[in-house]
């Protein structure tokens, strides 16, 4: 399952990603926004982050104008490891090295083709479950407490 969320700045690209994922028969839940009416990114970041935490093995994709604010907000939720990516390689690395569970995209700086490739790379990449990576994830978890 992939949970999608955006503020008004990421709305159009979120809609395109939703259609792309549905076309690939990937289960998607769009948690909003549902228009380009001005909105605040922390609201949708929280919705997506809480769904990802409640559903282990799921992923989130969040979009705002620069990808940063929505990523900061998502990372406030315990259990979330959200990462901003600007290429498929960075998206894959965030999964492989850091076990990221939410991909954040800068809608103002990312074209649709690149966004689709990043989402594909993110969900297709597995966490590299080796000692040093697991150790680092455990240290991140301790920072949450």
Catalytic residue among 8, 64, 71, 104: 64
Length of the chain: 145
Q: pLDDT of 70-106, one tens digit each?
A: 999 999 999 999 999 999 999 999 999 999 999 999 9
CA 1 to each of CA 28, 115, 121: distance values in angstroms, whole numbers, following the listed order:
6, 18, 15
Q: What is the pLDDT of residue 94?
A: 99
| Band (56; pLDDT cuts 50, 70, 90) | very high
User: How far is residue 25's CA from residue 72's CA, in Å, rounded to a whole number?
Assistant: 30
| Band (145; pLDDT cuts 50, 70, 90) | confident
Task: Examine the residue annotation and report whether 71 is marked as an active-site residue of this protein.
Answer: no
For 2-143, CATH gives 3.40.1400.10
Query: To the nearest whole number, what is the mean pLDDT of the chain?
Result: 98
Query: Residue 51: is its pLDDT beyond 90?
Result: yes
Q: Which sequence spans correspond to the domains of the chain?
A: 2-143
Q: What is the pLDDT of residue 116?
A: 99
Mean pLDDT, residues 29-50: 98
Catalytic residue among 19, 34, 97, 104: 97
Its pTM surpasses 0.85: yes
Instruction: Report CA 119 to chain centroid distance, whole Å.
Output: 8
Q: Contact at 8 Å (CB) between 34 and 8? A: no
Task: Examine the residue annotation and report whether 97 is marked as an active-site residue of this protein.
Answer: yes
């Amino acid at each position: 399952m992939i949970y999608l969320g955006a503020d008004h700045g990421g709305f159009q690209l979120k809609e395109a990603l939703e259609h792309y994922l549905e076309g690939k028969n990937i289960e998607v839940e769009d948690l909003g926004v549902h228009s380009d009416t001005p909105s605040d990114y922390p609201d949708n970041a929280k919705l997506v982050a809480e769904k990802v935490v409640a559903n282990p093995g799921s992923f989130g994709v969040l979009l705002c104008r620069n990808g940063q604010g929505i990523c900061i907000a998502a990372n406030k939720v315990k259990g979330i490891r959200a990462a901003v990516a600007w290429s498929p390689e960075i998206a894959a690395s965030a999964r492989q090295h850091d076990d990221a569970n939410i991909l954040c995209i800068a809608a103002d700086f990312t074209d649709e083709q690149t966004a689709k490739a990043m989402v594909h790379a993110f969900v297709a990449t597995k966490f590299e479950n080796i000692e040093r990576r697991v150790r680092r994830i455990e240290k991140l978890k301790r920072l949450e407490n």
